[in-house]
Chain A
């Protein structure tokens, strides 16, 4: 019994000893835990606090407001509007179709829209916000905002979006903005981090693209607290960015509107230049398109309408288009010949209706010929043979040099897309371009603005302006940048003798005011506003000998795309020129019949800063003119705003 008792006691003591051992082991481990806690929370606390802040604080860029674009009088041409949109995050929505169905009771969403959205939502990352609808009205937007708590995953956002209040009027010159694409980014060497903002808008074309750096502005920065899914929980602080600089253009919104409306349905381009400092007052290409469609993301149907139209609405014919200038180029040939001294202003050339060159006949547009013509008459009646003759005397290189002096074959530096250089061909040019020798026949074709010669409507307007002023006028589009007016350009003289310029101007005066002037039907009768101009009709097809023998097919019997281009350049007033205008109507037919009336109306509108009084038109034309001007669909200038942010 004692032995058993001893055993029990021994076992009990041993158990206590082992219990103490176990307790010590446990205590040691707990000590280690405490030490580890101290290590992490006290010694390394700073390091972990930094990591925790890196986790929760994210830096987000605030897109700056894009600079405004205004016309010379402050009328807003491109502004920003508040864009109210609704987005959904799939991850936060338990029932996507149900939520969308709820939403369709608040805003207009068709079943088809919903089906499309569901497909898109399924396709994209569950954490990314997908836009359900944008450009909502304030009423729709606030209705959704109020109900947001019962629409899980749906959130409302306000952003700025580009808007072009004049729609198509400035489409080609301003271009448009669109969301930055991977392609855009790949072209940049060191892209601004702001471009990483989804759907950030950058200039894609025209002034918007060329002045992108000025208009974009600097991004602001805000620090936000985010949760693990990147959702913004609250804003910690923010530093606003700098809005883009405003740009004031030399354009005049009302004149531009008139120009586009007057060109109407033609495939045409017109340019009006102020002759004091080269300000481009209006530059328009028709048919045009609504750039707002591109900002919003154009539908494929709308885009197809634009690309399939044979009048090419997307092309900017004013600077991209290069046309054979036709007889308007005779101004160049005449000045080249006069300056070279190969002919005097009063010297006559006999026109039998053609020039024989070897076995080839070069025809005058008037089959019967003009008889003996001097310079003034050659311009007035647009005699081709006169220019065949003087061109042979002066040679192509001098003609090309004169063309460049007058602005054809040189690239004018304008913030517009794809500004064409045109072609002022000479011997070297043909050799480089085609590897062929220049032929005398080429000179004859070039003399009357056919063959290799190409000029854009802008270049033609510059040519008219330089002849009118005798100065090397440079066209310009930017009047002020960021409220700093651009310095008035110093315009050097052309270096052409005033006598020769006066002779050519006299010929251009006769075109409009002479008895046999090709554009006399488009003259003005106001003594202070007399015009000078030059018509041009350029062939886009070769007239075969057979056709010439059978009688040239008249334009109205030809399919549209084979008809002649109609051109006209002019300036006014004749004795103190203020504005030069060029008009090109693609496949319009004759320059005198089609282009000249357009140019006259645009020129007069520019001079009067509004619709001209009927008294300036020849009395016989007034009724027709009134009827025409009354039916032109002009915008109401009272709707023009001067700037700021407009609400959708």
Chain B
């Protein structure tokens, strides 16, 4: 049986697609989201209406979106990649021009009742764009400088727009997510070495720029870095949040203080307890056991995505799956690294768990693409 014997014709069609849905992934996503509902109920002091119920509604909507995307052939999404990418970049420009200010940064676009965060959507459309690019590109050319430059530009354009909002967290996620797709697509490792090397140079340049006329990042971002490097230096000022977060997490111990018994979160010592620091509430109330359990669920989700990508001979589908899984991983890694004091506080929510409007829907859209790639993979 030759490679060409695999044809799209053998892909499931109609209601049979339901049988080919990656159900373990769906259940894991549901499990993680349920943990989120539980924690949102807890941090609201045992109240459903505040955060948990709206989150459940968003999850229900997101689930429908996920299946709708998943049942749509991956070819269709491949065809939409360029349009999606260009459209999202235009939205980012629109935010720049008309967006609302949120937390000192332009992030939202008010479209009637919908509050759109194009930077969130960008994570997915960038992955789609890069996957489509490498699917189109002759694999032999991937490491040629000109063909490397194009995806680099594809990444840098939205990254620059998001950085200007300014949203450092999402910028880094776009860079890392895009880089991961390029890595998997087979771009020579030398390029990555060079980029990491020059990134180190850039970081030192940023520190050099502090206090000069050409300062590259904002003062509050510098302060966040300072705080990260030494949170205890200013426990009542900028370091307060991360110190309280670590106290919440650490004091949970092995088995936690019990559901709704976390003193740090219930007495409001823990900041942003329903968004960025929701993992600390979980770790405080359910301890190491609870934290490791959630981490395991996440590892299983990422692992299943990778397994699906390994067995997918459709280059576009596999690349999209790797890209989405990596974007998901990056959210987890940055958020958990941040709340445990390993990374600076950049304001990245914990995927599927943190209370968040667009984030939940966008993530489920991403998993919709993973499902579509899985259902419609060549057999």
- Kindly list chain B residues whose C-beta atoms are within 8 Å of the C-beta of A227: 267-269
Contact of A19 among B3, B283, B291, B310 (CB under 8 A): B310
Neighbour of A44 across the interface among B180, B250, B287, CB < 8 A: B250
Cα(A27)–Cα(B300), bound, Å: 11
Query: A38 and B267 in contact (CB under 8 A), knowing A12-B313, A48-B247, A51-B251?
Result: no
User: From residue A16, how far is it (CB to closest CB) to chain B in Å?
Assistant: 5
Tell me the chain A residues, 12-31 only, with Cβ under 8 Å from chain B.
12, 14-16, 18-19, 21-23, 26-27, 29-30
Q: Size class of B's contact patch?
A: 35 or more
Taking CB atoms and an 8 Å cut-off, the chain B residues in 54-73 that contact chain A are none
Within 8 Å by CB of B4, from A5, A48, A51, A55, lies A5
> Would you call B263 and A55 a contact (CB within 8 A)?
yes
Contact between A55 and B269, CB atoms less than 8 A apart = yes
B332 / chain A contacts, CB cutoff of 8 Å: 30
In the complex, the chain A residue whose C-beta lies closest to that of B330 is A26
Question: Are A22 and B264 neighbours in the complex by a CB distance under 8 Å?
Answer: no
Distance in angstroms from B245 CB to nearest chain A CB is: 10
Known: A11-B139, A56-B263, A233-B267. A37 touches B186 (CB 8 A): no
Q: How far is the CA of A53 from the CA of B263 in the complex (A)?
A: 8
Instruction: Say yes or no: is B150 at the interface (Cβ < 8 Å to chain A).
Output: no
In the complex, A15 Cα to B310 Cα: how many Å? 8
In this assembly, does B218 line the interface, its C-beta being within 8 Å of a C-beta of chain A?
A: no
A27 neighbours in B (Cβ, 8 Å) = 299
Query: A36 and B263: CB pair below 8 A?
Result: no
Closest to A49 in B: B251
A192 interfacial by beta-carbon distance below 8 Å: no
Stretch at the interface among B89-97, B112-120, B335-343, B362-370: B335-343
The interface residues of chain A lying within 8 Å CB-to-CB of B254 are: 41-42, 45
Q: Chain B contacts of A228 at CB under 8 A?
A: 267-269
Q: Per-residue CB proximity of B273-293 to A under 8 Å, as 1/0? A: 000000000010001100110
- B252 adjacent to chain A (CB < 8 Å): yes
Docked-complex contact A47 and B250, CB < 8 angstroms: yes
Q: Does A488 have its Cβ within 8 Å of any Cβ on chain B?
A: no
Is there an interface contact between B186 and A15, defined as CB atoms closer than 8 Å? yes
Shortest CB–CB separation between residue B82 and chain A, in angstroms? 21
Interface residues of B in 309-328 (CB under 8 A from A): 309-310, 313, 315, 318-319, 322, 326
Q: Which residues on the A side are within 8 Å of B291 (C-beta)?
A: 37, 41
Of A11, A36, A226, which is within 8 A of B186 by CB?
Answer: A11
Name the A residues within 8 Å of B287 (CB-CB). 41
Cα of A160 to Cα of B186 in the assembled complex, Å? 80
| Contact between chains at B310 and A48 (CB < 8 Å) | no
In the complex, which residues of chain A have a beta carbon less than 8 angstroms from the beta carbon of B184? Answer: 15, 18-19, 22
Closest to A228 in B: B268
Contact A8 B3, beta carbon cutoff 8 Å: yes
- Contacts A48-B251, A52-B264, A227-B268 hold; do A14 and B288 have CB atoms under 8 A apart? no
Question: Which one, B2, B185, B186, B250, contacts A48 given CB within 8 A?
Answer: B250
Q: Is the CB of B268 within 8 A of A229?
A: yes
Chain B residues within an 8 Å CB radius of A52: 247-248, 251, 263-264, 269
The reply to whether A225 and B263 form a contact with Cβ atoms under 8 Å apart is yes
- Are B283 and A37 interface neighbours, CB within 8 A? yes
The yes or no answer to B333 lying at the interface (CB within 8 A) is: yes
| A21-B183, A32-B342, A33-B295 known; A10+B267 contact, CB < 8 A | no
In the complex, A18 Cα to B181 Cα: how many Å? Answer: 10
Instruction: For residue B378, give the distance in angstroms from its CB to the closest CB of chain A.
Output: 11
Q: Which of these, B139, B302, B309, contacts A26 with CB under 8 Å? A: B302
In the assembled complex, the CB of B285 is this many whole angstroms from the nearest CB of chain A, namely: 12
A30 to B337, CA, bound (A): 9
The proximity string for B residues 233-277 relative to A, scoring 1 for CB distances below 8 Å and 0 otherwise, is 000000000001011111111100000000110011100000000
Minimum C-beta distance from A23 to chain B (A): 5
- Interchain nearest-CB distance for B242 vs A (Å): 12
B219 → chain A closest CB, angstroms = 26
Given contacts A7-B140, A14-B139, A22-B326, 20 further A-B contacts (CB under 8 A): A10-B139, A14-B186, A15-B184, A19-B310, A22-B180, A36-B337, A37-B288, A37-B340, A40-B250, A40-B341, A42-B253, A42-B288, A45-B250, A45-B253, A48-B246, A52-B263, A55-B264, A55-B267, A56-B269, A228-B269
Which residues from chain B sit less than 8 Å from chain A, CB to CB?
2-4, 139-140, 180, 183-186, 244, 246-254, 263-264, 267-269, 283, 287-288, 291-292, 295, 298-299, 302-303, 306, 309-310, 313, 315, 318-319, 322, 326, 329, 332-333, 336-337, 340-342
A residues whose Cβ falls under 8 Å from a Cβ of B: 5, 7-12, 14-16, 18-19, 21-23, 26-27, 29-30, 32-34, 36-38, 40-42, 44-45, 47-49, 51-53, 55-56, 225-229, 233
12 A-B residue pairs with Cβ-Cβ distance under 8 Å, sorted by A, are A7-B139, A8-B139, A19-B322, A22-B184, A34-B295, A40-B246, A41-B249, A42-B254, A45-B250, A48-B251, A52-B248, A225-B267
